[in-house]
Chain A
Amino acid sequence: MSTPSIGYLYAAILLAAGFVFVIIATSLANLLAPHDRTKEKLQTYESGETPIGSARVQYPLGFYIFALLFVAFDVDIVFIIAWAIIFKQLSLFGFFEIFFFIVVLVLGLVYAWRKGVTRWI
């Protein structure tokens, strides 16, 4: 492995190029497109009615619980991938380690299911 991390520099260049691309495209559109703002045009769209109240309203807490479950399982995924790469080498001991890890997490998931989290809407 001569230059393992040089690839990330190139990836960063691509990321920056993505931003530059949007800037170029929007400024080109700014040059070409008409600018004719009226009060009605700047209203938010609510199926043709004049919008009532602020759009920043409270929404169900279900989203929050899904996000927390996601964080838990995302951490889990990182460990599973690190295990999967060397799982042949870790052999039986490593398998039981990850087995109990997964079983414990699945118990958490089962609990969440029995509590009715997945019935969210």
Chain B
Amino acid sequence: MLLADDAVTQLIHGIISWQFLQFVVTFLVIFVFVLTGAVILVLAERKIMAWMQDRLGPIYTGPWGLLQTVADMIKLLLKEDIRVADSDKLLFLLSPSVFIAPVIAAFAVLPFSPYISLPGTGLATGIVYYVAMSSIDVVAVVMAGYSSNNKYSLIGGLRAAAQMISYELPLVLALVGVVMLTSVLAGAPGYPGHDSIGTISLRQIIDFQGVWHKTGNPVLDFIFEGNTPWEWFILIQPLMLVIYYICGLAETNRAPFDLPEAESELVAGYVTEYSGVRWAMFYLGEYGNMTIVSAIATILFLGGWSGPGVAYLTGLNVPVWGLVGNLLALVYFIVKVYLLCAVFIWVRATLPRLRSDQLMRFAWLILIPITLGNILLTGALFLLISGLGLPTWVFLTVTGVINWAALFGFIWVVGRATVATTRRAQAPAIRARLRASTTPALPLRDGIPARVPELP
């Protein structure tokens, strides 16, 4: 039961146990995923944005420029690691590791496939663990900004920290709706869990979205066992997925929320003074964060690694088919994650940067009230419908319908808010123009102005 107890039994039963092997496999998958993820995403970002802007993007290094980011990585390793004068030496050297270590540790919660995840029951505190790890990143950002002894760095670091903490709240609150749904569904026939106790463990949330009662027909079982897209939580809580995704954009400081690194005003924000491999560490962490945000969205709303054949093959209890099923699951998972990452890039290519007056108000006045309202609405709906004695699927349908309607309401609200804040920001200029237009037009003599007025 105690942590050390488990560790000791592990050690006693030999380090080369099956569980430990599972951990080693997961460890390797995580590291390969983090390292290749950044390389692939940087290339994908440049290629996709080039395609969207009708450019070519990188084409010279390797076939179609595919080796561009590999070359960039080698270049970064060969760059001089400059530590500016008067910097706070300890913090300056430490902050890249403080930034990237929680990112790698946060990958521990992700189940990549039925086998490739942390051994045992995984991390039972899934969602909260992920949020806790991402909140340590804020400390690293402040450290980097403060230690660089640069005004841009300091302002960028503080702006990034304020933005990250503000958007962390709606990020978690958006996920609470899913947790409530697991509490409603737990213990229902076929569903995991018992006694109407929900879960925040990511592994179990995947199970909640793949309940299939065996029909005996092998083709149907093969396709739909553990893969039931009509049970994915995106259908019930689409608005929460959108809000979670927006907050994920802000958490990773990506466009349109990249104010902390706005080139035109802050050079590069808190990474201004970093060069070479330490700069690369920050970017590795940022792209790692991006994949984690996408992965959590995949697991909570899109069924995680579920896909045709996964549960069927791993359920056969034959090692070869189990291996095939796990590889399939890994492929499905990674494809879903990268599709969501492509949305990140798409958003970056489409939307202009927010103004600083919109940034905080959007989080505190729009996102947090909506997510809190969703929590209360889901609870009230369930109590009302179960109080009337209606079955659970009525509740799910009603919640889904209301949430889809709210999604369009949300888009409308965001549009109105953008217009309103823009009007307010432009009001001085508009008033000045109105004042200018009320001054009488110049009297004309023979089609030309009578005299040229003196410039004010």
Residues 365-417 (chain B) with a chain A CB within 8 angstroms: 365, 368-369, 372, 375-376, 379-380, 382-383
Q: Is B16 an interface residue (CB 8 A)?
A: no
Q: Chain A residues near B83 (CB, 8 Å)?
A: 42
Residues 1-34 (chain A) with a chain B CB within 8 angstroms: 1-19, 21-23, 25-26, 28-30, 32-34
Task: Pick from B30, B77, B79, B179: contact of A81, CB below 8 A.
Answer: B179
- Identify the closest chain A residue to B153 (Cβ): A55
Given A33-B77, A85-B179, A88-B382, are A41 and B267 also a contact pair (CB < 8 Å)?
A: no
Task: Pick from A8, A44, A109: contact of B123, CB below 8 A.
Answer: A8
Q: Chain A residues near B101 (CB, 8 Å)?
A: 15-16, 18-19, 22
Q: Chain B residues near A77 (CB, 8 Å)?
A: 169, 172-173, 176
Given A22-B101, A56-B149, are A34 and B80 also a contact pair (CB < 8 Å)?
A: yes
A9 and B146 form a contact (CB under 8 A): no
The distance from the CB of A48 to the nearest CB of chain B, in whole angstroms, is 11
The distance from the CB of B287 to the nearest CB of chain A, in whole angstroms, is 14
- Whole-angstrom CA separation of A62 from B179 in the bound complex: 33
Q: Chain B residues near A14 (CB, 8 Å)?
A: 27, 30, 104-105, 107-108
- Identify the closest chain A residue to B285 (Cβ): A18
Q: Chain A residues near B195 (CB, 8 Å)?
A: 89
Q: Looking at A21, A55, A69, which has the most chain B CB atoms within 10 Å of its CB? A: A55
Q: Chain A residues near B172 (CB, 8 Å)?
A: 77, 81
Q: Chain A residues near B158 (CB, 8 Å)?
A: 59, 63
A6 and B119 form a contact (CB under 8 A): yes
A85 and B198 form a contact (CB under 8 A): yes
Q: Is B102 an interface residue (CB 8 A)?
A: yes
A7 and B122 form a contact (CB under 8 A): yes
Q: Is B6 an interface residue (CB 8 A)?
A: yes
Interface of A is mostly: helix
- Whole-angstrom CA separation of A22 from B120 in the bound complex: 29
Task: Pick from A17, A41, A55, A74: contact of B169, CB below 8 A.
Answer: A74
Size band of the A side of the interface?
A: 35 or more
Q: Chain A residues near B169 (CB, 8 Å)?
A: 70, 73-74, 77
Q: Chain B residues near A92 (CB, 8 Å)?
A: 383
Q: Is B148 an interface residue (CB 8 A)?
A: yes
Q: Is B255 an interface residue (CB 8 A)?
A: no
Q: Is B350 an interface residue (CB 8 A)?
A: no
- Whole-angstrom CA separation of A43 from B120 in the bound complex: 52
A55 and B82 form a contact (CB under 8 A): no
Residues 35-86 (chain B) with a chain A CB within 8 angstroms: 76-86
B183 and A80 form a contact (CB under 8 A): no
- Whole-angstrom CA separation of A70 from B196 in the bound complex: 31
A57 and B151 form a contact (CB under 8 A): yes
Residues 148-170 (chain B) with a chain A CB within 8 angstroms: 148-155, 158, 161-162, 165-166, 168-169
- Identify the closest chain A residue to B109 (Cβ): A11
- Whole-angstrom CA separation of A80 from B180 in the bound complex: 10
Q: Chain A residues near B162 (CB, 8 Å)?
A: 62-63, 66-67
- Whole-angstrom CA separation of A109 from B364 in the bound complex: 8
Q: Contact flags (1/0) for A75-103 with B, using CB distance below 8 Å?
A: 00110110011111101100100110010
- Whole-angstrom CA separation of A5 from B149 in the bound complex: 42
- Whole-angstrom CA separation of A54 from B127 in the bound complex: 41
Residues 76-116 (chain B) with a chain A CB within 8 angstroms: 76-86, 96-97, 100-105, 107-109
Task: Pick from A6, A32, A102: contact of B78, CB below 8 A.
Answer: A32
29 A-B contacts, Cβ less than 8 Å apart?
A4-B121, A11-B129, A13-B23, A17-B27, A17-B31, A18-B103, A18-B105, A22-B101, A35-B80, A36-B80, A42-B85, A43-B84, A45-B267, A45-B272, A54-B149, A57-B151, A57-B154, A59-B155, A63-B158, A74-B169, A81-B127, A85-B198, A86-B197, A87-B382, A88-B196, A89-B196, A92-B383, A109-B364, A109-B369
Closest 7 CB pairs of A and B: A18-B101, A29-B277, A18-B104, A15-B105, A22-B97, A88-B196, A11-B108
